[in-house]
Amino acid sequence: TRCCSSTNLIATPLQVSDHYLVSFSLSLSSNTSHTAPTRMVSCRPNLRSLSPATLSSSILSSLPSAQTFSNLSPDSASSTLLSSLSASFDSLCPLSSRPARSSPPAPWLDDSLRAHRTGLRAAERKWRKTRLPADLASFHSLLSTFSSSVSAAKATFYHSKFQASASNPRKLFGTFSSLLNPPPPPPPPPSLQMTSSTILKRRSTTSDPRLLSQTTPLVLLNSLPCALTSFSPLSPDEISRLVTAGRPTTCPLDPIPSSLLQTISGDLLPYLTSLINSSLTAGYVPPVFKRARVAPLLKKPTLDPSDVNNYRPVSLLSFLSKTLERAVLGQLYRYLSQNDLLDPNQSGFKTSHSTETALLCITEALRTAKANSLSSALILLDLSAAFDTVNHQILLSTLSELGISGAAHAWIASYLTGRSYQVAWRESVSSPRALTTGVPQGSVLGPLLFSLYTKSLGSVITSHGLSYHCYADDTQLIFSFPPSDDQVANRISACLADISSVDDGSPPQAEPQQD
């Protein structure tokens, strides 16, 4: 009777009872529009049974010889390899549709537990059909055994996770957090059109024509004796380490699951090496590696999920494109660190640095000022739409000032330009859009390039006598002064004005959060 209307409601007393006879008319309809449609998702049901050796053999049979492949251009090589990967995988493991799961499967559920669960359900169906005590006892016995097996599998799973992350505090904390603070239910999906329009508006707002016409960074760096003119080709062993060391995350742009690619990477190593080295040598990134799927993620669980401004656009990139970025990141970071070109006051995106480093530096500065009988002001800044506002021309000019030129500079320029993205929500995808500013959130190179882009802010801050420390796009300004100084407010205001009045093409605008 759900969603049915009633009319002619009549309560008639009965002579033979103290109850009333209630009669009414129901308006019944076969319309079931009130029922939410079942969301279907694409899946590959025989993925578990797919043999990596069979997949590898199919891919190799569709590829040209390694010698012929090494003579292809980066565009042709990437297209040939990705087409072979996709065609072989689709032929061996075709797509099908099934209803979406209400929750993801338990990670500790293995094949033996699945078989046990199947037997348990069969025993339950048999008992409900026969109602015999023997069948009930068999069902209870299987249920008890299954519960014990699940508890043991869960304990073994988390014990192995704790052991694996014992030397990684960040990973260990994340494991404990997932146990003690289970994730909230997924928010209701916003309109794809609204989400796409908001991201487009956000990106187009940061693409000020004045910003694009400016080609000089805020503070020019001095000429350097060192130089990085090209990225060196990598050996097959180095490529193998890059592929196997990466997290096997898979996005819709990947032709095959990343875990499978890692498994068969040994057979494909000559082709992967040729593809990556041809890109590094030519100073060119194939367009297929410059595409992104933007997934809107809610910034905090407590935010309103119906407001699309509360979502952070995270770029999902293909596994091979991130592997190519790692090949460049290692050489670029090595050059910058060996020549002391990284900002010493930046704790983000840097080896052996973390949020604890930033906290210790700030705390020590405040303690030192207090020991010297000085007062201190702490101003916390947050760069608005930081990664989205990176101007490519200014970033490339900054890289030139850092001694990066030739094929190395051309590769980064190719990496930044000609990018495109699509906003995706579940099974819906928007049309492709060009990306003219910013670096992708979720990329491998993006954080380092962003820290180089904002490096000139340090010179602006120190020119006003303030010290600072950064973690990613969060900047902390520290100003220590004698208690009798009556010009503190003016000096801080002048510093903030210089940082904020950079709408002519300098690094992104800073918003004071606290003071």
Mean pLDDT for 375-385 is 84
Mean pLDDT score of the chain: 83
- When mean pLDDT is compared over 41-55, 228-242, 246-260, 447-461, the highest value belongs to 228-242
The whole-number pLDDT of residue 198 equals 57
pLDDT-based confidence at residue 41 (cuts at 50, 70, 90): low
Tokens (6 digits) for 367? 């303690």
Mean pLDDT for 394-405 is 91
Looking at the predicted structure, is the pLDDT value of residue 245 above 60? yes
Tokens (6 digits) for 467? 């010290």
Compute the Cα dihedral for 57, 63, 64, 65 and give only its sign.
Answer: negative
Mean pLDDT for 244-262 is 90
160-211 per-position pLDDT tens digit: 888 888 888 878 888 888 778 766 555 555 555 555 555 555 554 444 433 3
pLDDT-based confidence at residue 373 (cuts at 50, 70, 90): very high
The strand pairing partners of 422, in sequence order, are: 293
Percent of the chain with pLDDT over 70: 82
The whole-number pLDDT of residue 183 equals 63
Tokens (6 digits) for 313? 């656009």
Of the listed ranges 52-66, 78-92, 153-167, 229-243, the least confidently predicted one is 153-167
260-306 per-position pLDDT tens digit: 999 999 999 999 999 999 999 999 999 999 999 988 887 777 777 77
Distance separating the N- and C-terminal Cα atoms of the chain: 60
pLDDT-based confidence at residue 315 (cuts at 50, 70, 90): confident
- Who wins on pLDDT, 355 or 233? 233
- Residue spans of the domains in the chain: they are 110-183, 192-231+283-514
Where helices occur in 264-354 by DSSP H, the ranges are 265-282, 319-338
Count CB-CB contacts under 10 A for residue 469: 22
Of the listed ranges 276-285, 304-313, 316-325, the least confidently predicted one is 304-313
Mean pLDDT for 78-89 is 95
CA–CA dist 72, 77 (Å, integer): 5
Looking at the predicted structure, is the pLDDT value of residue 386 above 60? yes
* 303 within 8 A of 187, measured Cβ to Cβ: no
22-37 per-position pLDDT tens digit: 888 877 665 544 455 5
Phi/psi at 62 (5° precision): -95, -5
Q: Which helix (H) or strand (E) holds 136?
A: helix 133-164
What are the residues whose beta carbons fall under 8 Å from the beta carbon of 278, sequence distance 6 or more?
70, 72, 73, 74, 77
Mean pLDDT for 462-483 is 89
Nearest to 96 by CA among 53, 43, 148: 43
Mean pLDDT for 443-463 is 87
CA–CA dist 220, 506 (Å, integer): 12
The whole-number pLDDT of residue 95 equals 76
The whole-number pLDDT of residue 220 equals 42
96-106 per-position pLDDT tens digit: 777 766 666 78
The whole-number pLDDT of residue 507 equals 47
The whole-number pLDDT of residue 50 equals 86
